[in-house]
Chains A and B, each alone.
Chain A
């Protein structure tokens, strides 16, 4: 039995600490800790309700769009505002651009280095690399040039962002046994890593065009949108969505399918609590959250693959193991924020994160949750891509895989990339929908009428999971504001009953081959995109 700590967990947004107990080569217990507290909710109190749209999105520089939309919705819910149809489509487009940006960035820039060894790519045979790329149906790049660039970089002796990781990648006996891809696949993935840096930026340009800038957009102001499209802007947006979709079709999806057969063991651990929450995202014309393109629902796998209804009143937050001096079990509508640090103890308090609970139990949020909820609801685009992928992986595994296999590390990784494909396809259709609406003469983008008091919630989905903003407005000023961010759900510490949070449960049972280099712990932590 040994304690192993990873702090900082790098390649994420923010500050995360993971402490695990390893017994006989497997994680037997885990504590996940948020190590930063800033106090967003307190900053918002007593300001104009609209201002929360600009300020609250700055809680996260990787998913600010989703926070901005949840904030705008909480304001609109509180003050009785119904946004115009054009604003609905434009918000969907800005949100979609962030999903595509975020998922591409996550897979290639943040997570890939847990699987892909760029140093090993130097051993690749260039001709074999082209042959493999063609066989896998993945994007052809100038693999020779990428190899030359890598070689010069490694030979220079300054490893930049790879400093300190040479022992993990390594060569010969020092090589971490978890890096199992053939050098040709490492080279393909490295080439696409570099291309992905370009494509994530192209996706973000869409937000720049419609939202003013990314990160931290400007236009989805409570009441609708400040962005009035011109023909040129629409063309700029459509062109970029098309480019990004092409990359997802020709790199992200085939790369996922090419790498998966080498890490099929990841289907046997990392599943976690088995409860999946989605608030729903991408608003349909009727503004019904159960009818969103990715619908609202709550799936408890132990009770079968069906989705229950779920709403803002089902959420509570415990603080028994968090550094707050407030009561446990409050609904965010009545939530309080009073920080009080005391020494870190895995027996006592060990996180700045509160323990968010849905219907009293831990709930995983993120693409896997959304895809599962959409799947059990029979959303056709989601059902067909999951069934197709399961069929392909079944062939590689030599066994018939059931949808429940998704409740695993492998499933969580795959679900994110499949979702990127679904959203990319929809995004093109939504640009055309907007063009049709404008051609039909709809020139309404913003409504100004609103009440000056009320209570509301904005429940939405960031790329990394469910985001909820609760706002109480009295006399035109914010009286209370609470945010339950995606990471609040996934990295939640133990609750009042001592039940570990979703990432903690997912870590328990994870094999650790080398406790000095706990690569598998990084893989599970990263799979949540925390």
Chain B
């Protein structure tokens, strides 16, 4: 491709010292992230080069700890400076934007009127105390301040798509943990309740893994030409049914299949030790030094559908299990209630006010919920994926004993 045929964006990148080689390498990593063949890279590059200007974006913090923003600051595929200066024009981004107060707030309204942007939403939707558990803006004595939910509705209604990043934005996260005193909920359920039809892509884990967000941004901008309908067509999604207790909405959460399609256990480097029956039974022990499986100290890897072992964290420096800690399942729905006590294995699950054993859940709630929650350790195929591939593996002696014990291994 001749240099003059390159689009405006590539010229922008070139002047900022991004070579064509870097650029294609980046496109290749995007393709790999999306589960596409790396031969897609030139097509992604062509899409990127054709983009005339940076796509406008709004980044809103709801009931957040700012951990997902922090997480995005830890990305290098590309780095955060490149995202903010060269890929997306963040016209609102509380944590890093220069402007403040009304100088910042008016950007949301202006952009919402003009349209053509993506909305990234971090944190829970705060509905408690009549929506006053979060408010922003306004003049003296709070005159004209807006509730967090009002700002979300304004920004979401006219967005091309919403990325609900981190578990809080997906289903309320830890804030929605029992008793959910601030009545926190997720973006998809709230927008459905309000009749706002903008597509929402849900991306759990606490915080979100930044490489996944970047992959989705690039997918929308470049592969799907900023067209949300095309974006949904070309991005394989897992459809996760969810009954939201705060809004009463039954929603179908869309999660990118390349990221949320397999369990941590499926891809865990310690999986071999699981198969061999070699377990860590005490944290920080000599078994840990040998890298044995953390299943017996509560690892929720078998029931948690994320790509953590593949992508890893902090620019691929490590991840939870590699550092010796059992997975706490922060990528699951209602993760705090469903997965605590974190150091116990599949026991004492909390549904509302009651504690139940996983066996009971499997029987009572049926296969879909069970697939998301439990049963995985005693047979991968039981986890909603019966019918494909080789037959289920044998039940492990440890599991047989455990399940035979009344009340599980408390």
Interface residues of A (CB under 8 A from B): 3, 5-15, 17, 19, 35-40, 42-43, 47-48, 50-51, 54-55, 58-62, 64, 87, 105, 109-110, 113, 145, 148-149, 152-153, 156, 158-165, 167-169, 194, 197-198, 200-201, 204-205, 207-216, 218-219, 221, 223-228, 230, 236, 323, 337, 339-341, 343-346, 350, 352, 443-446, 448, 517-518, 522
A161 to B91, CA, bound (A): 6
Say if the beta carbon of B129 comes within 8 Å of chain A.
yes
How far, in angstroms, from A199 to B284 measured CA to CA in the complex? 30
| A197 cross-chain contacts in B, Cβ below 8 A | 73, 79-81
- Bound form: Cα–Cα A158–B117 in Å: 13
Q: Name the distance in Å between A51's Cβ and chain B's nearest Cβ.
A: 5
Given contact pairs A51-B341, A61-B64, enumerate 7 new A-B contacts (beta carbons under 8 Å): A11-B95, A11-B97, A35-B134, A43-B181, A212-B324, A344-B142, A446-B283
**Interface pair A225/B107, CB less than 8 Å apart:** no
**When A163-B97, A197-B73 are in contact, do A226 and B284 touch as well, CB less than 8 Å?**
yes
The closest CB in chain B to the CB of A10 belongs to: B100
Write the chain B residue with the least CB distance to A350: B142
The A/B interface has a contact count, at CB < 8 Å, of 334
Cβ of B88 within 8 Å of any chain A Cβ, yes or no, is: yes
Known: A160-B54, A160-B91, A339-B128. A212 touches B325 (CB 8 A): yes
* B15 nearest CB across to chain A (Å): 4
- In Å, the complex CA distance between A109 and B93 comes to 13
Contacts of A54 in B (CB 8 A): 328, 342
* Residue on B nearest A237 in the bound complex, by CB: B317
Give min CB distance, B323 to chain A, whole Å.
4
Question: Which of B16, B88, B284, B319 contacts A228, CB < 8 Å?
Answer: B284
Chain B nearest Cβ from A482, distance in angstroms: 14
CA distance A198 to B94 in the complex (A): 20
A8 to B105, Cβ gap below 8 A?
Answer: yes
Q: For window 160-186 of chain B, which residues contact chain A by CB distance below 8 Å?
A: 173-175, 177-182, 184
Residues of B311-332 whose CB lies within 8 A of A: 313-315, 317-326, 328, 330
User: Does chain A have a CB within 8 A of B202?
Assistant: no
Cross-interface CB contact of B89 among A35, A159, A221, cutoff 8 Å: A159
Using A149-B16, A165-B99, A522-B100 as known contacts, say yes or no to A156 and B54 having CB atoms under 8 A apart: yes
Interface contact B314-A205, CB-CB below 8 Å = yes
Q: How many residues of B contact A (CB 8 A)?
A: 104
Task: For the complex, give the distance between the alpha carbons of A392 and B151 in Å.
Answer: 48
A198 proximity list for chain B (CB < 8 A): 79
The closest CB in chain A to the CB of B166 belongs to A61
Q: Is B401 at the interface (CB under 8 A from chain A)? A: no
Contact B54 A167 (CB under 8 A): no
B207 nearest in chain A by CB position: A215
**Bound-state Cα–Cα, A209 to B322, Å:** 8
Task: Tell me the B330-344 residues at the A interface (CB within 8 Å).
Answer: 330, 336, 340-344
Is there a chain A Cβ closer than 8 Å to B126's Cβ? yes
Interface residues of B in 14-44 (CB under 8 A from A): 15-17
> Which 8 pairs across A and B sit closest by C-beta, in order of nearness?
A61-B67, A208-B314, A445-B284, A446-B284, A218-B325, A165-B98, A164-B99, A3-B140
Q: Residue B61 at the A interface, CB < 8 A?
A: yes
Whether B97 and A50, one on each chain, are in contact in the complex, defined by CB atoms closer than 8 angstroms, is: no
> Which residue of A38, A169, A208 contacts B184 across the interface (Cβ within 8 Å)?
A38
Could you tell me the distance in whole angstroms from the C-beta of A274 to the nearest C-beta in chain B?
Answer: 27
Q: Which of B240-248, B263-271, B285-293 makes up part of the contact surface?
A: B285-293
Partner of A227, one of B101, B175, B324: B324
**Most chain A CB inside 10 Å of its own CB: which residue of B84, B98, B173, B343:** B98
Contact A35–B67 (Cβ < 8 Å): no
Give the distance in Å from the alpha carbon of A447 to the alpha carbon of B53 in the complex: 57
Contact A61 B325 (CB under 8 A): no
Q: Does B70 contact A (CB under 8 A)?
A: yes
**What are the residues of chain A within 8 A of B284 when measuring CB–CB?**
87, 224-228, 444-446
What CA separation (Å) do A358 and B235 show in the bound complex?
55
Let me know if A10 and B95 touch, CB within 8 A.
yes
B93, B102, B129, B315: the one within 8 Å of A341 (CB): B129
Residues of B within 8 A of A213 (CB): 313-314, 318-320
> Cβ of A226 and Cβ of B128 under 8 Å apart?
no
> Are B65 and A158 touching (Cβ within 8 A)?
no
- B243-276 CB contacts (< 8 Å) to partner A: none
Answer whether A48 and B53 are a contact pair too, CB < 8 Å, given A8-B101, A163-B89, A201-B74: no
User: A167 contacts which chain B residues (CB < 8 A)?
Assistant: 103
- Residues of chain B within 8 A (CB-CB) of A113 are 98
Of the candidates B148, B181, B318, the one whose C-beta lies within 8 Å of that of A209 is B318
Cβ–Cβ contact B129 & A48, under 8 A: no
**Shortest Cβ distance from residue B287 to the other chain A in the assembled complex, whole angstroms:** 10
Chain A residues whose CB sits within 8 angstroms of the CB of B342 once the complex forms = 48, 50-51, 54
Report the minimum CB–CB distance from A267 to chain B (whole Å).
24
Asked if B100 and A207 make an inter-chain contact with CB atoms under 8 angstroms apart, the answer reads no
Neighbouring A residues of B17 by C-beta, 8 Å: 145, 148-149
Q: A205-B315, A211-B323 are in contact. Are A6 and B89 (CB under 8 A)?
A: no
Bound form: Cα–Cα A350–B140 in Å: 12
Contacts of B15 in A (CB 8 A): 148-149, 152
Say yes or no: A218 contacts B320, CB within 8 Å: yes
Q: Is B229 an interface residue (CB 8 A)?
A: no
CB distance from A347 to the nearest CB of B (A): 9
Asked if B303 is at the interface of the complex by the 8 Å CB criterion, the answer is no
Question: What's the minimum C-beta distance from A463 to chain B, rounded to whole angstroms?
Answer: 12
CB-defined contacts of A208 to chain B, threshold 8 Å = 313-315, 317-319, 323
* Bound complex: CA A238 to CA B37 (Å): 37
A sample of 7 inter-chain contacts (CB < 8 A) reads A5-B102, A43-B175, A58-B174, A198-B79, A213-B314, A215-B70, A446-B284
Which residues in B have their C-beta under 8 angstroms from that of A216? 67, 206-207, 330
Q: Is B141 close to A, CB under 8 A? A: yes
B134 partner residues in chain A, CB cutoff 8 A: 15, 35-37
**Distance of A109 Cα from B84 Cα, bound (Å):** 13
Q: Verify if B239 is at the interface (C-beta below 8 Å from A).
A: no
Q: Which one of B69, B74, B107, B282 contacts A214 once the chains associate, using CB atoms below 8 Å? A: B74
A449 to chain B, nearest CB (A): 11
